[in-house]
Amino acid sequence: MKKNTEISERIVQVIETLGLNPNAFAKGLGYTRSQTIYDIIKGKSKPSFEFLERYHDSEYSVHFDVGWLITGKKKTEYPASLQWLELEDEESTDAVRLRDLLRRFVLDTEAQISALKEELSHLRKTNENLTSRIEAIKKLCNPDEYSFP
């Protein structure tokens, strides 16, 4: 029950930090009723795979990632392979679905990082190109200031 309490505390932290109440948080996750959130917060039920999936797909996961919500660890504290994840019930369908959700999350994150690196590289090349064009224009505008070999 301790792990469930810790997750509940982290969910409360997310709600409070974002300045929400449980009703608004539930609505942001696409729930029509907030009872699911109240039950998790009060420790009456554990977060389901559906809850974690909704959370992962929500804007809230931008501020607090689902890995942190589950483990309390920052993203950088666990490897991308997710081999650290040892669930108590390996045969549980929820455990398998949770692992798949976490793997998808990591793969999505790695793909986003890769795309951002490519975009950064492209922007650097564009910047270099524009800088040389500006220098060429400066030479045309003020030829006396530049010496030519």
Residues 51-101 have pLDDT tens digits of 998 998 888 888 888 888 888 876 544 444 444 444 444 556 666 677 777
pLDDT tens digits for range 14-25: 898 888 999 999
Residue 49 neighbours by CB under 8 Å, 6+ apart: 94, 97, 98, 101
C-alpha span between 108 and 94 (Å, rounded):
21
Are the beta carbons of 64 and 16 closer than 8 angstroms? no
With 0.75 as the threshold, say if the pTM is over it.
Answer: no
C-alpha distances in Å from residue 13, one per residue of 62, 63, 68, 72: 15, 12, 12, 11
Determine what percent of the chain falls in helix, strand and coil, rounding each to the nearest 5.
Answer: 70, 0, 30
